[in-house]
Structure 1
Amino acid sequence: MAQNLYGPGVRIGNWNEDVYLEEMQLSMTEDGYVHYGDKVMLVNPDDPDTEADVFLGGDLSLCMTPDEIQSHLRDELEVPCGLSAVQAKTPIGRNTFIILSVHGDATGQVLTYGQDFCLGITGGFDNKMLYLSSDHRTLLKSSKRSWLQEVYLTDEVSHMNCWQAAIPDPQLRLEYEGFPIPANAKILINHCHTNRGLAAHRHLFLSTYFGKEAEVVAHTYLDSHRVEKPRNHWMLVTGNPRDASSTMLDLPKPPAEDTRAMEQAMGLDTQ
């Protein structure tokens, strides 16, 4: 008589893909700010004035991107692990990050501009924590498409994991130092050790385990006025209190914003 040889601990098929794509629940903010310990998505917001040669439009979320071959060969997350940006509005294992303190446990405390923090991710696994990291570019270590400073995930805790947030307007940057960071608002995320900004390359794609996705690097892009370009803009997106499976990006915009956008499109905006 045939026996069932597959117990509850046996992993079958693309089990790891199921883990990476498992839906997660983001933290919900009660005071409008982000805190240490919050689970958030890092989103590069869509910009209508972005150059026309973009590969991916819309809001892009930062995602862990494991090597396809290693994902099939190993039962745990590879280290180091790559990153990419993809159109994903649903919080899942590969795009849900945790805001961590670099100076002991600060869970629940408000994160402020200019304050060091780490961004960790489990990828849907229970026994692993990887940290968003970067280091200076070398001949042997750089991003795959642009050859700029790469960003990656590692399980090693060091100063390479430290990041800071800044307000996009350079004229207000010093004034806002030490102020709480609002959730779901545009910010800059800068690597402390190299002073490079996290950036999404919408025009450069990577062939990943999940398909074609945009490259992510650590590089600061400035316009003619020395202001960071939209590819350096990010949002720490929190959960939607009305629907646990969605984010604040899913909420409809206030009517005033929709009217303003329509007026601008018709050339009627007087402001």
Structure 2
Amino acid sequence: MFRPYNRNVLIDNWLEDRALEEDIIKDYLDKKSKGELASQKALSNQITSVNLTTVNDHKVHSGDVIMLKCDGNINAPSPLLPKAYRDDCFVICNGGSAGGITTLSPSNISSFIIKSVDGSPLGSPIKFGQPFIITTLDGANFLHSDPLSYDKAARRSRLQIVDFAPVYNHECDWVATCLNPKFRLETEGADIPANEKIVILNMKTNKALAVVCDFNNKSRFEIVANTFLDSHKAEEDVNHWKIVTNLPVVPEPETTEN
């Protein structure tokens, strides 16, 4: 059979092209992990610090400035890879997308306002089973989750996507439930505690807010809506969230010198 080209040369060109593409991807991932991308630098220049709401009654109120935190399990012994080496995750809003980062300081991208949607006045405690919304500080975007479909899914995990929508609808409604399934009926209607683990569900799909970790980078997260159940039919730790607020300062008792 007549060949107008040399087979070895063609294969070498393919290998060279593939090696160049792999180098470009590695360089991109390396810059992204170090925060050296132009988009990351532009975002970092816009980040400002924010003061969270201080609650004296240890409850979550409508209108509070909060953060959403999923505790990591980096020190938890586990033989399973999916449950090992995960840092703390805080939800952030980057444009219209929702993501997760490891941070300890509240900022304008990691802080949100929680509000009830049933007409309760600002400052009133939000209860288990009571629908609420989570908005950005300017109130322009709402934490939102679409029902899973072929063209609407998280990019890496292909689970139900969570993002920030500019228009409010029923898919932006969320509800909290007690962490322990045995006490959920008893705690229905009780006030949601601040800085304690709870489960947050999307009212439209009844899927729990969750963290999906990238095993190549333990500090890179994808925020999705999916209920991960263990062998006891209870939500796994990736579904455990804290509504973080400032803790009240407890004055130290005065000491009297004799």
CA contact 1:145–1:204 (8 Å) conserved in 2:
no
Gaps of 5+ in 2: 1-40, 251-258
Check 1:54–1:22 CA distance in 2 against 1; reply closer, same or farther (3 A cut).
Answer: farther
Check 1:130–1:64 CA distance in 2 against 1; reply closer, same or farther (3 A cut).
Answer: same
SS at match of 2:90: strand
Does residue 167 (structure 1) correspond to residue 196 (structure 2)? The answer is: no
TM-score, reference length from structure 2 = 0.74
Amino acid at match of 1:175: E
Instruction: Tell me how far 1:37 sits from its aligned partner.
Output: 0.3
SS at match of 2:45: helix
CA contact 2:214–2:220 (8 Å) conserved in 1:
no
CA contact 1:56–1:203 (8 Å) conserved in 2:
no
Question: In the alignment, what sits opposite 2:245?
Answer: 238
Check 1:205–1:130 CA distance in 2 against 1; reply closer, same or farther (3 A cut).
Answer: farther
Taking the aligned partners of 2:124 and 2:249, their CA distance within structure 1 comes to 24
Residue from 110, 128, 140 that aligns with 1:95: 110
Question: In the alignment, what sits opposite 1:187?
Answer: 198
The Cα offsets for residues 184-213 of structure 1, whole Å up to 9 and x where unpaired, read as 00000000000000000123579xxxxx72
Taking the aligned partners of 1:131 and 1:152, their CA distance within structure 2 comes to 8
The Cα offsets for residues 6-34 of structure 1, whole Å up to 9 and x where unpaired, read as xxxxxxxx665333x21100001111101
CA contact 1:56–1:202 (8 Å) conserved in 2:
no
The Cα offsets for residues 153-194 of structure 1, whole Å up to 9 and x where unpaired, read as 011011011000011111111110000111100000000000
Question: In the alignment, what sits opposite 1:266?
Answer: none
Taking the aligned partners of 1:35 and 1:171, their CA distance within structure 2 comes to 25
Check 1:38–1:49 CA distance in 2 against 1; reply closer, same or farther (3 A cut).
Answer: farther
SS at match of 1:150: strand
Question: In the alignment, what sits opposite 1:58?
Answer: 87
Question: In the alignment, what sits opposite 2:121?
Answer: 106
Check 1:173–1:162 CA distance in 2 against 1; reply closer, same or farther (3 A cut).
Answer: same
Amino acid at match of 1:214: F
Residue from 49, 64, 87 that aligns with 1:38: 64
Question: In the alignment, what sits opposite 1:78?
Answer: none
Question: In the alignment, what sits opposite 2:150?
Answer: 139
Taking the aligned partners of 1:162 and 1:223, their CA distance within structure 2 comes to 26
Taking the aligned partners of 2:83 and 2:101, their CA distance within structure 1 comes to 13
Aligned length: 208
Greater radius of gyration (CA): 2
SS at match of 2:214: strand
Q: Kindly indicate whether structure 1 or structure 2 has the higher relative contact order, using CA contacts under 8 Å at least 6 residues apart.
A: 1
Gaps of 5+ in 1: 1-13, 67-80, 207-211, 244-271
Residue from 23, 26, 39 that aligns with 2:49: 23
Identity %: 32
Check 1:231–1:32 CA distance in 2 against 1; reply closer, same or farther (3 A cut).
Answer: same
Check 1:220–1:86 CA distance in 2 against 1; reply closer, same or farther (3 A cut).
Answer: same
